Structure 1
Amino acid sequence: MSNGRAEPTTPKIVMDRMPLAPRPCAIAATMELIGDRWSMLVIRELSYGVHRFDRIAGYVGVSRDILTARLRKLEEVGVIERRQYSERPPRFEYHLTAAGEELRPLLRSLFQWGSRWAVNEPASELVHDCGHTLELEHRCRHCGREVDDATVAMHARPQSRNS
């Protein structure tokens, strides 16, 4: 008996029906902007409240040249902003923008995955204010149900003629 809603389809089945060609993808676009190791570690430090160049470099373990390039790129794409805190000599701090702040859930997900699959013994843990180790679940904001392959379908949007 139908309830008027489409039955869930796994992303593979729907996307596997598309013509075989490189496809535009939000994941690929995101990785192009922030997907390298150093950028994600800079974003991690900013989310921890570390804002000054030397401290970011020290905690990330990156050369000054690479850090300078990553900070410029992250600023250029709108993930971070530079704020002057000293005029003589001119010195700057780096802060997440609204776009950068929206990466916090991604960082928590990467932390959870890495703690489970990438290290033998995690050096730290995320603890929720309820007192328990944080275990993330992905839920739909509209209905509150858990998100998994059985409840999500990827649908290609029609391409506009101006694309």
Structure 2
Amino acid sequence: MRRTSFANWPCSVARTMDLLGDWWTPLVLREAFYGIRRFDDFQQELGIARNTLSERLRRLVGAGLLEKQVYETQPLRHEYVLTESGRDFHNVLLAMTSWGDRWLSDESGTPVLTHHETCGHDAHAEVVCSHCRQPMEWADVTPRPGPGYPARLLSRPDIRKRFRLEGAPRDAASDRPTDTRP
């Protein structure tokens, strides 16, 4: 069955999900952050089918999140090392962890703590504004088309409504556009 591709959508969430594709891919990356580098170790830790793991590793290498490096020549064996792009994905996993800790943990508490070596405290991830360093809450942000958004789409009424470019209803209490997303 052919899978729909989101790789060319003008949306970073869609493009990221196109890369991830399924639940195994972020788990493979999680294991890489735990220090796993070799195929058999990924397979053992995750209990994933070998063919599925091969495909996920191939996809992550192809996308530039992992790099395949030879560690033995007789027989030829490779390990998978996080690239700069792969290491940068750690923030995505931390954000997912923070959300899961808040909404999915049971009464016994969070399953894994994140210890910040720099300050010596256990912490959780927060998304903050890169300019003022204040937390970025849903009610305080507005999506806008960026320089990479296809200009040809900006004339479509549904896109203009999504980005509240003109004529979007306003919330009188806050003078912010009302949420018109489906």
Identity %, equivalent residues: 37
Match of 1:125 among 102, 108, 113: 113
Query: Secondary structure at 1:83's aligned position in 2?
Result: strand
| Aligned length in residues | 139
CA drift at 1:48: 1.3
Paired residues for 1:1-163 under 5 Å: 24-120=10-106, 121=108, 122-129=110-117, 130-157=119-146, 159-160=150-151
For structure 2, the residue ranges without an aligned partner over 5 or more in a row are 1-8, 153-182
Structure 2: how far apart are the matches of 1:123 and 1:154?
33
Structure 2: how far apart are the matches of 1:148 and 1:101?
25
For structure 1, the residue ranges without an aligned partner over 5 or more in a row are 1-22
Q: TM-score, normalised to structure 1's length? A: 0.77
Query: Secondary structure at 1:127's aligned position in 2?
Result: strand
Structure possessing the higher relative contact order (Cα contacts under 8 Å, 6 or more residues apart): 1
* Amino acid paired to 2:10: P
Name the Cα RMSD after superposition.
Answer: 1.8
**More strand per residue: 1 or 2?**
2
Runs of 4+ in 1 over 3 A off after TM superposition: 129-132
Q: TM-score, normalised to structure 2's length? A: 0.69
